[in-house]
Structure 1
Amino acid sequence: MTKPSHPLTRIQARRREKILEAALEVFSTHGFRGSTIDQIAVAADMSKPNLLYYFKNKETIHIQLIQRLLDDWLQPLRDLDPEGDPLSELRAYIRRKIDMARDFPREGRLFTNEILQGAPHTLDILQKMLKPLVDEKVGVLEAWMEAGHMVRTNPYHLIFSLWATTQHYADFDVQVRTVLGHGHDGDERFDDAARFLEQLYVHGLSPLPTGGKSTSGQELT
């Protein structure tokens, strides 16, 4: 079966959301390859035929989740304001990404699993949604660097680094809690991480008296 072409009723919309929530739990736990429609149906507490009335297969559900995730995940980058204070904007970006790592760990694992598999279901989405946005914000970063508001560095790798350091606290949460030890199971570890990363990046990107050169006289590229 395929989902109906007419608008969903309120009950149908709720059931569709219930399926997506169940699929998020299943996919984030088992990955795409290790997940089945039957597992999702059980998690959603509905029959397989009923589930297939709304989504024709697990690929359709997976793509729907990734599209929704990326739309939310990229909002902090969209909000990077070219007219704002550069270092304040980066500090706010770090804080929002850490908050998302804390609040949406399953979504983070879902996306990480997809990327580790080579993005077989979402490469087109990445090319059409992610790359243009990153290119746009690279232009913003380059303008800030050119104006002397930030140390000159490679803006693409700066963005990659921000993604890696913030997302670490979602993807490797068990490792983080284990290493930090007893007493670090609450949200304070995310607050500590945000403060550390803000200090690291703001200090590292602040303009230097020599006009963007290190003490060795070389540009930081």
Structure 2
Amino acid sequence: MADSAMAAGRRATATAAKKTAILRAGLDIFSRFGLHGATLDRLAGQAGVSKTNLLYYFPTKETLYIAVLQDLLDIWLAPLKAFRADSQPVAAISDYIRLKLAVSRDYPQASRLFCQEMLQGAPLLKSLLEGELKELVAEKTAIINDWIAGGRLAAVDAHHLIFTIWATTQHYADFSVQIEAVSGRTLQDDAFFHQAVEHIQRIILKGVCPR
């Protein structure tokens, strides 16, 4: 029984490792070539598995693409999920800006793939955007509006505040080539990362702090 359990554990570990390798390969290939430019042979080669093995875990290229998008949406939403009603408003917004910029630094491929999907009209992600994302944003804008009603923040539009944070932080991933061309630096430079965080925080917080 013990040997059987150990064997099952090894199989589960191997299966999880293969799925992780395939998802990572999908993120890399899809972010560079898009859904239509990616081929099963290229995806399998990048993952280090056979095409047959890839199709065992993900029956179609589209299935893998959606799984990759779901993973990156989880990464993208994690900072917003950390936004809590019992936080101090200025500290919460500051932390959200820092965490969103850290996502741009640590997961630039995910951010670019997400951007590509949005530019195409989000054909494979629209249901998630209109469901999970919309519900989460509604929950967090309600928190912001409560802070405003309590005089803890200036009277700003909560949706536009979130949109502004998305735009300013994701720009560093989606337009990283442009930023490096102009400044000669990237978010991988710790000093530049902290400078960007402090700059965005200062601009946005000046607009939301109570007058």
TM over 0.5: yes
Question: 2:106 aligned with 1:103, yes or no?
Answer: yes
> CA offset at residue 184 of structure 1?
8.2
Q: 1:66 aligns with which of 58, 69, 77?
A: 69
Q: Which residue of 2 aligns with 1:167?
A: 170
Task: Decide whether aligned partners of structure 1 residues 116 and 143 sit closer, same or farther in structure 2, where only a CA change above 3 A counts.
Answer: same
Q: How many residues align?
A: 203
Q: Which residue of 2 aligns with 1:21?
A: 24
d(CA) in 2 for partners of 1:161 and 1:82?
Answer: 20
d(CA) in 2 for partners of 1:102 and 1:184?
Answer: 5
Q: Which amino acid in 2 is paired with 1:42?
A: G
In the TM superposition, what whole-angstrom CA distance separates every residue of 1:133-189 from its partner, at most 9, and x where no partner exists? 001111111111111111111111111111010000011111111111369862322
d(CA) in 2 for partners of 1:16 and 1:183?
Answer: 31
d(CA) in 2 for partners of 1:185 and 1:101?
Answer: 10
d(CA) in 1 for partners of 2:45 and 2:131?
Answer: 34
Three-state SS of the structure 1 residue aligned to 2:93 is helix
Do 1:177 and 1:184's aligned partners in 2 also have CA atoms closer than 8 Å? Answer: no
d(CA) in 1 for partners of 2:77 and 2:201?
Answer: 19
- Identify unmatched segments of 5+ residues in structure 2: 1-8
Do 1:19 and 1:51's aligned partners in 2 also have CA atoms closer than 8 Å? Answer: yes
d(CA) in 1 for partners of 2:30 and 2:123?
Answer: 15
In the TM superposition, what whole-angstrom CA distance separates every residue of 1:43-98 from its partner, at most 9, and x where no partner exists? 11222112111111111111111112112211211111112110111001000011
Taking structure 2 as the reference length, the TM-score comes to 0.90
Taking structure 1 as the reference length, the TM-score comes to 0.87
Q: Percent identity?
A: 41
Three-state SS of the structure 2 residue aligned to 1:56 is coil
- Identify unmatched segments of 5+ residues in structure 1: 1-6, 209-221
d(CA) in 2 for partners of 1:57 and 1:82?
Answer: 41
Q: Which residue of 1 aligns with 2:51?
A: 48
Q: Which residue of 2 aligns with 1:143?
A: 146
d(CA) in 2 for partners of 1:77 and 1:184?
Answer: 21
Do 2:97 and 2:201's aligned partners in 1 also have CA atoms closer than 8 Å? Answer: yes
Do 1:177 and 1:185's aligned partners in 2 also have CA atoms closer than 8 Å? Answer: no
Q: Which amino acid in 2 is paired with 1:74?
A: L
Q: Which amino acid in 2 is paired with 1:35?
A: A
Task: Decide whether aligned partners of structure 1 residues 183 and 66 sit closer, same or farther in structure 2, where only a CA change above 3 A counts.
Answer: closer
